[in-house]
């Protein structure tokens, strides 16, 4: 179909194909030749460069590596500067190229040798070998200047990037700083000293100035800050501080305190912890010269302008502000005459730093809430939320030095200086006693106000009042921001002559009840609730809070140090009324959209006063210093109306009950608690009614293994089981169920017996103090499953309070306190140590009243304890074994030690016990009561039984009545023949509880009943008319054989008609001491 190709055509195609292949082969060969040339060129270039680098490396090593020896005497001899100049240029080229590729150890060694050589050549005495020779060579001068500038940039990069991880890094840092110090200090150039003249000196100083400007333009101050912080982490600051300070203060002096340099100095150097103190302690000449040229004044003039400081500190973190404040204070303390002249600007400066710090804290808290970041703890400003870019120094010694800087602010000299600065009015300055000088400055200033009553208008407008309030505002801000130094500040201020008493008189002078009406009027007038008088009130409250924490009973009640008991009582009356009115005011406001509760939680005035009020009420509950009904509020005395408010969930009533429950009587609060519990029971019953057939609430408990069976049965039971009715059947020693139906009486006995065993010190979970109160044993962690046992015991105690079962158990106050969820209550457990560890109490009391130098006692924030025969050291604060106790912080030491002994070492036991207790008892219920009141909830009235109350609330059955002879004998026996312990046993025999009910016998349900018991073994049940009549008319029918019996479920005493009072007494005494459970007959 298609014609075949001819042979000629086929030969033609083959020929063309062969031509193409030959052409392609020639092309590939040409490419290979070109590639070979490039490869050969590259290899030759690499080999040549490598050979050159190796040559330069060997050359430079021969020149500089010998200068790495730490002993200068072993350094090689210097070569002529003219021959070395080229080598220096070669080094810079070689180092910059090799630094980009790798930072090897060999390169570091070469750099160290080069730096040491350069420094050595600067201080040599022969100009021929000096690095300075290039400056005097006209041909090399320009190149020499360029070389030095490039070299300084390299040194700055080295300082910025070296992390101080090895010893070579440390040597390089020290050598680099030494070089920068020498190259900018012509006084150290020995080769020029012999021929130094005025012209040459001016020239060299100008050269130094140009170098400093060049360094400053390349971030010298920022890099020096980085170096100092890294060295502080390695505790190397003392070895470099001289050179760093020299460079810093030379730059300031040569710039003639240029504003730009001062701001940069503030943003970099002043945020180095304790920098100013280190310079001052080392008597640094340039630092002293800088101070003489008014460094402090120049800085304060910048800082005292709020807008300027806000802009300056825009990128400074709160931690850096903390260190800046320390350095500024240290600078102020160096020359107090200069400070005296700059007093007011310095106060403005302090306010600006503190305000910005407060703003940083608020911003961090808000950001952390949005991003849910964690917080960390700083030893000066406490917990910091969110991320910070600030400097964190782990060196505890540095932190203590920062604290030492701050102490000047609350020193006696500075506080007096502040009060001296207060202006005195012409009328107030005139004294009838003549020009006699007042030695007590603080009292002198306050006396100007004491001569007349202080009206509301005067509080707002009077210059003297405003000045005093401004000082108190300053210290209030310090207390709020330097949270970890709070106790130190308050301790120091409390020791100031007459400060506390003067503040108290000032408050008293405002008006009746510390100016309650006047202060409330100011509060209502100010929408932001800020007025300087409130800062004064808060500072005084903080001082009182400190005193209430640290004063022991001897100092507060007998010596009445600082304030009399009458003053304490008056102030608590004011606090109680003021806090109550603040809550009412906020809940009555309708103009704001924010909830009253949230406004109060964010109100610093309210928080401070409320915390002190609760603290003083707690102190008063231990040992009273106020009259009866002192804490009650007249407006809420009508408990019925308040109860109705609670029943309809009135928010104000609920908040009052949560915050200041003591404004109601104890009995009213018990009734409220019972109401809450009843509502909770109803709620639980409604929720589980549909699941009741799946729930087990009946348990058999062997008397021979009471606690073990109870723990096994109930430990893992849900809260629903615990809150509902639990039925118990006891199994006796013979393995038989005891007679009796549990209608709560058997359960009461079960709870009492289980708790009696659980809290028995022999069980090793609890220990007894000297005053016979119980607390978790520190050695209980040796017991298997001890945390589960504590959790179970907490539930049992919670169940007892939940069911109003009183127990014969008395817990230590410092243990009970943790069941009450009151946050931030600065309560001191020092007095509790008297019965817990008398030796430690006596030792701490000795330290507290020691007049000498406490540091000579060599105490640290740690404690040694014997653990199974081995002494173990525990820190009571972080790194406490390395921190010495001084006179300034001995109160803090005593407080920390008390907390450790009463809480820290048994923290896990307290935590799990509290969790179990709160399974049944909600925190808001328990918070209504003080520690003694909570103990009363647990164990009832500790006093003897009120027989008159019992008589008036008795129900008689079966023929007995008030005038029946047996009843008269019964009361006579209880009153005259029985001891207090026997009366308690009698009450326990009938009601299963040895303590009277909290609200008296009227609240006992069922009521206490005495029933006539017939002699017949087959007695009738109930109170038939025939039986009652028969018992009433057969007076002479008596029974001398039977013992009294009881039904604790019904609080029922079955009392036979005995022949004589003697028989009644013997039978009753035998019955109540038999302890035969429900099988007594």
Q: How many other C-beta atoms are found inside a 10 Å radius of the C-beta of residue 74?
A: 10
Closest CA to 491 of 563, 418, 411: 411
Q: Would you say the C-alpha torsion 516, 521, 524, 528 has a positive or negative sign?
A: negative
* Alpha carbons 315 and 188: distance in angstroms, whole number: 38
For residues 111 and 172, is the Cβ–Cβ distance under 8 A?
A: yes
Looking only at the bridges linking them, the beta strands covering 698-702 and 727-731 are parallel
* Alpha carbons 206 and 186: distance in angstroms, whole number: 10
Give all strands (DSSP E) within 921-1034, no chain letters.
955-957, 1009-1013
- Per-residue pLDDT at 837: 87
Q: Would you say the C-alpha torsion 997, 1002, 1003, 1006 has a positive or negative sign?
A: positive
Domains of the chain are 1-218 (no CATH), 411-428+438-631 (no CATH), 695-826+917-939 (3.90.1750.10), 833-902 (3.30.2160.10), 947-1079 (3.30.2410.10)
* Alpha carbons 528 and 92: distance in angstroms, whole number: 64
As beta bridge partners, residue 701 has 730
* Alpha carbons 903 and 915: distance in angstroms, whole number: 16
* Alpha carbons 876 and 878: distance in angstroms, whole number: 7
Give the pair of three-digit tokens for residue 113: 């040798």
Looking only at the bridges linking them, the beta strands covering 382-385 and 766-768 are unpaired
Cα distances (Å, whole numbers) of residue 33 to 23, 25, 37, 391 = 15, 12, 6, 62
Look at the block and give the residue holding tokens 């600006």. 352
For residues 663 and 632, is the Cβ–Cβ distance under 8 A?
A: yes
- Per-residue pLDDT at 1017: 39
- Per-residue pLDDT at 167: 87
pTM for this predicted structure: 0.80
- Per-residue pLDDT at 637: 65
Q: Would you say the C-alpha torsion 836, 839, 845, 848 has a positive or negative sign?
A: negative
* Residue spans of the chain under pLDDT 70: 1-7, 9, 100-103, 365-374, 386-395, 421-441, 443-461, 527-529, 637-639, 686-696, 739-744, 823-826, 1014-1040, 1075-1081
**91 Cβ neighbours under 8 A, 6+ residues apart:** 60, 64, 110, 114
Give the pair of three-digit tokens for residue 28: 């590939």
* Alpha carbons 608 and 800: distance in angstroms, whole number: 35
As beta bridge partners, residue 865 has 872
**113 Cβ neighbours under 8 A, 6+ residues apart:** 61, 64, 65, 66, 67, 68
Give the pair of three-digit tokens for residue 702: 């062997």
Look at the block and give the residue holding tokens 């001052």. 280
- Per-residue pLDDT at 233: 82
- Per-residue pLDDT at 1021: 44
Dump pLDDT digits (tens) for 187-198.
888 888 877 888
Q: Is 361 helix (H, G, I), strand (E, B) or coil?
A: helix
Cα distances (Å, whole numbers) of residue 7 to 1, 3, 21 = 19, 13, 22
Give all strands (DSSP E) within 580-680, no chain letters.
none
Look at the block and give the residue holding tokens 């060049």. 214
* Alpha carbons 92 and 862: distance in angstroms, whole number: 54
Looking only at the bridges linking them, the beta strands covering 955-957 and 1009-1013 are parallel
With b for 16 or more beta-carbon neighbours within 10 A and e for fewer, the 176-210 pattern comes to bbbbbbbbbbbeebebbeeeeeeeeeeebeebbbe
* Alpha carbons 415 and 445: distance in angstroms, whole number: 12
Cα distances (Å, whole numbers) of residue 384 to 116, 603, 1063 = 44, 20, 75
* Alpha carbons 151 and 133: distance in angstroms, whole number: 16
Cα distances (Å, whole numbers) of residue 250 to 101, 215, 1052 = 36, 11, 96
Backbone dihedral region for residue 744 (phi beyond 0: left; psi -120 to 50: alpha; all else: beta): left
With b for 16 or more beta-carbon neighbours within 10 A and e for fewer, the 699-728 pattern comes to bebeeeebbebbbebbeebeeebbbeebbb
Phi, psi (5° rounding) for residue 343? -60, -50
**649 Cβ neighbours under 8 A, 6+ residues apart:** none
Phi, psi (5° rounding) for residue 106? -60, -40
Cα distances (Å, whole numbers) of residue 890 to 209, 533, 546, 855, 894 = 50, 31, 14, 9, 6
- Per-residue pLDDT at 1022: 46
Rg (C-alpha) for the chain, rounded Å, is 43
Q: Is 831 helix (H, G, I), strand (E, B) or coil?
A: coil
Q: Would you say the C-alpha torsion 493, 494, 495, 499 has a positive or negative sign?
A: positive
Can you spell out the DSSP letters for 1007-1035?
Answer: PPEEEEE-SSSSPPPS--HHHHHHHHH-T
* Alpha carbons 1044 and 1058: distance in angstroms, whole number: 10
Q: Is 700 helix (H, G, I), strand (E, B) or coil?
A: strand
* Alpha carbons 1061 and 464: distance in angstroms, whole number: 81
For residues 995 and 940, is the Cβ–Cβ distance under 8 A?
A: yes
* Alpha carbons 488 and 44: distance in angstroms, whole number: 74
* Alpha carbons 167 and 148: distance in angstroms, whole number: 27
Closest CA to 999 of 672, 525, 576, 510: 672
Q: How many other C-beta atoms are found inside a 10 Å radius of the C-beta of residue 742?
A: 20
For residues 701 and 729, is the Cβ–Cβ distance under 8 A?
A: yes
Q: How many other C-beta atoms are found inside a 10 Å radius of the C-beta of residue 982?
A: 16
* Alpha carbons 775 and 798: distance in angstroms, whole number: 16
* Alpha carbons 758 and 565: distance in angstroms, whole number: 41
With b for 16 or more beta-carbon neighbours within 10 A and e for fewer, the 402-417 pattern comes to bbbbbbbbbeeebbeb
Phi, psi (5° rounding) for residue 255? -85, 0
Which residues are annotated as catalytic? 1049
- Cα–chain-centroid distance for residue 879? 16
Residues in the chain: 1081
For residues 730 and 701, is the Cβ–Cβ distance under 8 A?
A: yes
For residues 814 and 902, is the Cβ–Cβ distance under 8 A?
A: yes
For residues 637 and 668, is the Cβ–Cβ distance under 8 A?
A: no
Q: Would you say the C-alpha torsion 311, 312, 315, 317 has a positive or negative sign?
A: negative
Closest CA to 176 of 231, 235, 97, 257: 231
* Alpha carbons 799 and 768: distance in angstroms, whole number: 23
């Amino acid at each position: 179909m298609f014609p075949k190709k001819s042979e000629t055509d086929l030969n033609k195609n083959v020929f063309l194909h062969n031509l193409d292949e030959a052409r392609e082969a020639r092309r590939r060969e040409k490419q290979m030749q070109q590639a070979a040339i490039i490869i050969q060129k590259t290899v030759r270039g690499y080999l040549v460069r490598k050979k050159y680098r190796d040559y330069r490396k060997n050359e430079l090593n021969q020149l500089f590596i010998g200068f790495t020896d730490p002993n200068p005497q072993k350094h090689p001899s210097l070569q002529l500067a003219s021959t070395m100049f080229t080598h220096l240029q070669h080094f810079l080229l070689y180092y910059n190229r090799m630094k980009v590729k790798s930072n090897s150890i060999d390169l570091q060694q070469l750099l160290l040798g080069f730096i040491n050589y350069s420094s050595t050549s600067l201080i040599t005495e022969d100009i021929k070998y000096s690095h300075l020779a290039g400056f005097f060579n006209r041909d090399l001068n320009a190149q020499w200047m360029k070389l030095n500038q490039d070299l300084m940039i390299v040194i700055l990069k080295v300082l910025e990037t070296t992390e101080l991880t090895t010893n070579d890094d440390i040597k390089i840092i020290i050598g680099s700083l030494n070089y920068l110090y020498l190259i900018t200090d012509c006084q150290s150039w020995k080769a020029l000293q012999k021929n130094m003249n005025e012209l040459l000196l001016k020239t060299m100083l100008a050269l130094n100035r140009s170098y400093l400007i060049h360094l400053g333009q390349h971030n010298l101050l920022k890099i020096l800050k980085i170096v100092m912080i890294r060295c502080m982490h390695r505790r190397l600051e003392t070895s470099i501080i001289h050179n760093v300070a020299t460079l810093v203060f030379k730059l300031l002096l040569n710039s003639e305190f240029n504003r730009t340099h001062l701001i940069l100095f503030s943003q970099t150097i002043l945020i180095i912890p304790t920098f100013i103190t280190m310079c001052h302690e080392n008597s640094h000449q340039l630092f002293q010269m800088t101070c003489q040229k008014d460094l402090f004044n120049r800085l304060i003039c910048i800082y005292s302008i709020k807008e300027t400081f806000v802009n300056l500190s825009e990128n400074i973190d709160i931690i850096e502000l903390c260190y800046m404040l320390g350095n500024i204070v240290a600078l102020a303390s160096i020359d107090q005459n200069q400070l005296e002249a700059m007093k007011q600007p310095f106060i403005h400066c302090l306010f600006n730093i503190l305000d910005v710090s407060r703003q940083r804290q608020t911003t961090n808290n808000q950001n952390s809430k949005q991003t849910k970041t964690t917080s960390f703890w700083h030893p000066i400003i406490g917990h910091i939320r969110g991320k910070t870019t600030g400097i964190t120094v782990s060196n505890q010694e540095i932190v203590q030095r920062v604290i030492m800087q701050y102490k000047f602010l609350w020193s006696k000299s500075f506080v007096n200086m502040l009060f001296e600065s207060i202006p005195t009015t012409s009328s107030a300055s005139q004294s009838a006693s003549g020009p006699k000088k007042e030695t007590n400055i603080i009292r002198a200033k306050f006396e100007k106000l004491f001569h007349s009553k202080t009206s509301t208008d005067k509080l707002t407008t009077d210059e003297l009042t405003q000045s005093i309030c401004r000082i108190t505002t300053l210290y209030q801000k310090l207390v709020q921001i330097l949270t970890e130094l709070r106790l130190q500040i308050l301790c120091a201020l409390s020791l100031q002559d007459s400060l506390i008493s003067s503040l108290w008189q000032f408050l008293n002078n405002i008006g009746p009840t510390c100016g309650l009406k006047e202060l409330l009027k100011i509060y209502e007038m100010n929408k932001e609730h800020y007025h300087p008088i409130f800062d004064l009130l808060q500072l005084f409250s903080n001082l009182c809070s400190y005193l209430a924490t640290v004063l022991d009973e001897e100092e507060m009640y007998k010596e009445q140090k600082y304030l009399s008991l009458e003053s304490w009582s008056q102030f608590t009356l004011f606090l109680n009324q003021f806090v109550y009115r603040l809550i009412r005011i906020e809940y009555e406001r309708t103009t704001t959209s924010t909830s009253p509760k949230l406004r109060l939680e964010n109100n610093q005035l309210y928080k401070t006063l409320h915390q002190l009020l609760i603290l003083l009420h707690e102190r008063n509950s231990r040992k009273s210093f106020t009259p009866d009904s002192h804490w009650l509020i007249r407006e809420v005395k009508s408990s019925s109306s308040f109860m109705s408010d609670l029943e309809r969930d009135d928010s104000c009533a609920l908040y009052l009950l949560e915050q200041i429950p003591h404004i109601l009587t104890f009995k009213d609060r018990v009734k409220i608690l019972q109401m809450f519990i009843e509502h909770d029971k109803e709620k639980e019953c409604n929720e589980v009614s549909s699941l009741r057939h799946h729930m087990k609430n009946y348990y058999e408990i062997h008397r021979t293994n009471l606690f073990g069976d109870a723990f096994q049965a109930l430990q893992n039971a849900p809260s629903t089981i615990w809150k509902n009715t639990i039925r118990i059947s006891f199994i006796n020693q013979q393995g038989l169920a005891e007679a009796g139906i549990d209608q709560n009486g058997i359960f009461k006995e079960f709870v009492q017996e289980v708790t009696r065993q659980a809290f028995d010190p022999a069980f090793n979970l609890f220990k007894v103090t000297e005053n016979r109160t119980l607390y978790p044993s520190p050695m209980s962690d040796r017991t298997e499953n001890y945390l589960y046992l504590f959790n179970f015991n907490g539930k049992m105690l919670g169940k007892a309070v939940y069911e109003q079962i009183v127990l014969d158990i008395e817990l230590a106050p410092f243990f009970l306190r943790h069941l009450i969820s009151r946050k931030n209550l600065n309560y001191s457990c020092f007095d509790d140590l008297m019965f817990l560890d008398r030796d430690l109490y006596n030792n701490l009391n000795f330290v507290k009243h020691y007049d000498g130098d406490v540091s000579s006692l060599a105490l640290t924030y740690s404690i040694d304890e014997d653990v199974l025969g081995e002494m173990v050291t525990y820190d009571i604060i972080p790194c406490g074994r390395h921190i010495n106790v001084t006179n300034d912080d001995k109160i803090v030491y005593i407080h920390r030690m008390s907390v450790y002994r009463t809480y820290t070492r048994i923290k896990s036991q307290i935590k799990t016990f509290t969790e179990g207790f709160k399974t049944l008892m909600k925190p808001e219920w328990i918070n209504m009561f003080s520690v003694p009141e909570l103990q009363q909830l647990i164990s009832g009235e500790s006093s003897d039984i009120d027989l008159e109350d019992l008589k008036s609330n008795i129900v008689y059955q079966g023929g007995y009545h008030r005038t029946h002879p047996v009843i008269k004998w019964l009361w006579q026996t209880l009153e005259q023949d029985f001891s207090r312990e026997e009366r308690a046993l009698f009450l326990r025999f009938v009601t299963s509880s040895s303590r009277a009910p909290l609200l008296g016998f009227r609240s006992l349900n069922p009521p206490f009943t005495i029933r006539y018991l017939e002699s017949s073994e087959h007695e009738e049940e109930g109170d038939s008319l025939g039986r009652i009549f028969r018992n009433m008319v057969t007076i002479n029918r008596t029974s001398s054989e039977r013992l009294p019996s009881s039904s604790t479920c019904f609080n029922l005493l079955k009392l036979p008609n005995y022949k004589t009072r003697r028989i009644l007494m013997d039978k009753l005494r035998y019955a109540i001491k038999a302890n035969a459970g429900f099988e007594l007959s």
